[in-house]
Amino acid sequence: MLQTAQAHNAQQTDLAFQQCINADCKATYDANTIRTSCDKCGDLLDIAYDWDRAAVPNKLSDFEQFWSERTNPVRFSGVWRFHELLPFAPQDKLVTVGEGQTLLQQTDRVGDYVGMNHGQLHLQYEGMNPSGSFKDNGMCAAVTHASMMGAKRAACASTGNTSASLALYCSATRLMKAVIFIGSGKISYGKLSQALDYGALTVQIAGDFDDAMLRVREVASELGIYLVNSVNPFRLEGQKTIMFRVLESLGWEIPDWIVVPGGNLGNSSAFAKAFMELKQHGLIDKVPRLAVINAGGADTLYELYERRGVRWNAGRVVMDPIVDYNDKMDREHIRADTIASAIEINRPVNLKKCLRALDFMDGVVRQVPDQDILDAKAKIGEGGFGCEPASAASVAGAKLLRREGVIAPSDRVVCVLTGHELKDPSATVAYHTSDQDVFNKTLGSRGVTKASYANRAVAVPNELDDIIKAIQLYS
Ligand code: F0G
């Protein structure tokens, strides 16, 4: 059984520390410091714990006791009800706006499209979070740490969802002011409107996400602003809980595959850390395989992992092919370009952690063209689960892996739907439109030539007879 909240709280002050992921460095730092890279070697940091002193449950089903404590906001949260598995802050410091009330949906309609046996395809529907994307899982953790550090301002670069999430947490809690960096013309209106409405200071950089990411790191360090991008290791702690909820929904059984879109690679990194720790605690005996899906127009991970053979290599990543590829992108002015604007990223900051994830979870990487992303998105919508284009990359990727025979029809597959349908209505409307100009303008330039699953609006004159005729004809 788990300990009482009081006993548990007393333990929380010094359980966590920060640790460099580089096997030749492994430097450690106090959890009560603000950093997004290792001082000694510049590599990424993990949050590590002295688990021997932590109140880890004996079995995962012990967490079910918290289902009856839903009047406590911390236990209502789909993140903090797993607090014992991310114990870096005491209970009374945890920030929540009710994140993580998400569902794992089994769907044969989408399963048929992917080519799965009935009962085997599941969609982890993260669009149900307060800001409409999975980002809230990590943002509550980052804002918790930021407020413990006394931060008055928090910043991020974003393709739109991180910024919407940060803006929401800042306005809802009034703990700090949000400063967000976005690329020019690179963010969907749904997401931009959230940041503006929630009152974030919105800085539009003349460049894309990769430019904004570089700048926000400089600015955060220069002005001492707390950075909440996924280079922040506390944020990724919160994102581990997406996997805890998947297991919870499956009655604590382990699926065969987790399929996730890859952008800045925070999710894939966090998911693997979740499974590494569950394995270490003896709470699971099997680990699912991981498939990270890039958009074809933003496929750095695919290029490095599948084409150039870059590997985790026990924490000693050989950097030459990565440096070479970055140089090539500079030389040839290769910029990310995809309708899946959330993952329009060519220099993923969590690359090394994702390599570790692929190593631990026997992973594969694939890239899917915008055509496949939009077709998959239409099929997901038809199945009753709207999502934004980036999210649909997971289903398009699962379909590809089924076709290749990498995923078997009898495998139990979980595709993560990372963001809500209403985040990017322009992409949806452009796919379903009968106006060829709108279609060409939005999608044609990205190699999308057809909308095989379009549900077109029927145009009729404003005459009763015509309206009735049209309904009889089409229904
Ligand atoms: N799906 C959606 C809807 C996203 O917003 C993002 C990332 C991803 C997938 C990729 O996840 O970075 O963990 O690999 N969006 C970030 C943002 C970059 O700024 O909102 P990842």
pLDDT digits (tens, 9 = 90+) for 329-376: 999 999 999 999 999 999 999 999 999 999 999 999 999 999 999 999
3 has a pLDDT exceeding 60: no
Per-residue pLDDT at 475: 86
| Nearest C-alpha neighbor of 343 from the set 359, 330, 354 | 354
Per-residue pLDDT at 10: 41
Using DSSP's 3-state secondary structure scheme, residue 354 falls into helix
**pLDDT of amino acid 11:** 46
pLDDT at 12 over 70: no
Question: Is 3.40.50.1100 the CATH classification of the domain at 103-131+235-427?
Answer: yes
Q: What is the pTM of this model?
A: 0.96
For residues 401 and 368, the answer to whether their CB atoms sit within 8 Å is: no
Which residue has a Cα nearest atom 11 of ligand 1? 263
Percent of the chain with pLDDT over 70: 97
Q: What is the mean pLDDT of residues 207-227?
A: 95
13 band by pLDDT with thresholds 50, 70 and 90: low
Contacts (Cβ under 8 Å, ≥6 apart) of 362: 287, 289, 290
Q: What are the backbone angles phi and psi of residue 164, rounded to the nearest 5°?
A: -60, -40
Distance from residue 253's CA to the centre of ligand 1 (Å): 27
**Best residue for ligand 1 mutational test, from 159, 181, 350 (most atoms within 8 Å of Cβ):** 159
Name the residue among 96, 82, 192 with its Cα closest to residue 136: 96
114 φ/ψ angles, rounded to the nearest 5 degrees: -75, -25
- From 161, 268, 349, the mutation candidate for ligand 1 (largest count of ligand atoms within 8 A of CB) is 161
Q: At residue 165, does pLDDT exceed 50?
A: yes
pLDDT at 295 over 90: yes
Q: Examine the pLDDT at 74 and tell me if it is beyond 90.
A: yes
CA of 214 to the centre of ligand 1 (A): 17
Q: What is the pLDDT of residue 203?
A: 96
| Nearest-angstrom CA–CA distance, 356 and 315 | 7
Residue 23 has pLDDT above 90, yes or no: yes
Three-state SS string over 423-454 comes to HCHHHHHHHHCCCHHHHHHHCHHHCCCCCCCC
What residue's CA is closest to ligand 1, atom 19?
158
Per-domain residue ranges for the chain? 103-131+235-427
Going by their DSSP bridges, the two strands 45-49 and 16-20 should be labelled as antiparallel
Ligand 1 pocket residues where CB is under 6 Å: 133, 135, 158-162, 230, 261-267, 342-343, 388, 390-391, 418-419
Reported as a single tens digit per residue, the pLDDT across 101-117 is 998 999 999 999 999 99
Mean pLDDT, rounded, for 448-462: 95
Pocket test for ligand 1, best of 123, 135, 165, 395 (most atoms within 8 A of CB): 135
CA distance 475 to 473: 6
C-beta neighbour count of 243 within 10 angstroms: 25
